[in-house]
Amino acid sequence: MNYRAVETTGEYVARLEHGADWRAEIESLAEEVEADAAWFTALGAVRDAELWFYDQAECEYYPIEFDEPLEVASCVGNVSWLDDDRFAHTHAVLSDDEGTTYSGHLNEATVWAGEVYMRVFEEPLEREYDETTELDLWL
């Protein structure tokens, strides 16, 4: 296990723009507040979504697409640097009109309504390729 203590420099709340891309809005907030590393939670609703499932045997993401309104029952993630850009590593639990839930890595979704809380860390975090998992991980 790798770990380190973090100090925070600020906390922010924001409303995501209706019709925008969910993850892009979080990355825009990070850019606006100059967050080189952060932790966030969010909730709301989306008009459509694409979740990704990471197949550990094949070390590859597979998309799960939804072309319907969904509630964002929970959304959590972190912000760090990836390939010279701020990247919001975003996971979500979505639910449909019957209460069936779907979860995974949120690649994209169109915001219906969304609210986010972000806590910014003092020191930046950068993602690097991990040979074991074939993922870009921080620390």
- Per-residue pLDDT tens over the stretch 46-60: 999 999 999 999 999
Tens digits of residue pLDDT in 52-81: 999 999 999 999 999 999 999 999 999 999
Architecture of domain 9-123: 2-Layer Sandwich (3.30)
The pLDDT value recorded for residue 77 is 98
Question: Sign of the CA dihedral 35, 76, 106, 114?
Answer: negative
Extract the tokens encoding 61: 């993401």
Q: In angstroms, what CA-CA distances link 22 with 3, 8, 18, 94?
A: 29, 24, 9, 13
- Calculate mean pLDDT across residues 113-132: 94
In contact, 39 and 98? CB cutoff 8 Å = no
Task: Pick the closest to residue 61 from 70, 71, 52 (CA basis).
Answer: 52
The pLDDT value recorded for residue 139 is 73
Question: pTM for the whole thing?
Answer: 0.93
The pLDDT value recorded for residue 138 is 82
- Calculate mean pLDDT across residues 96-123: 98
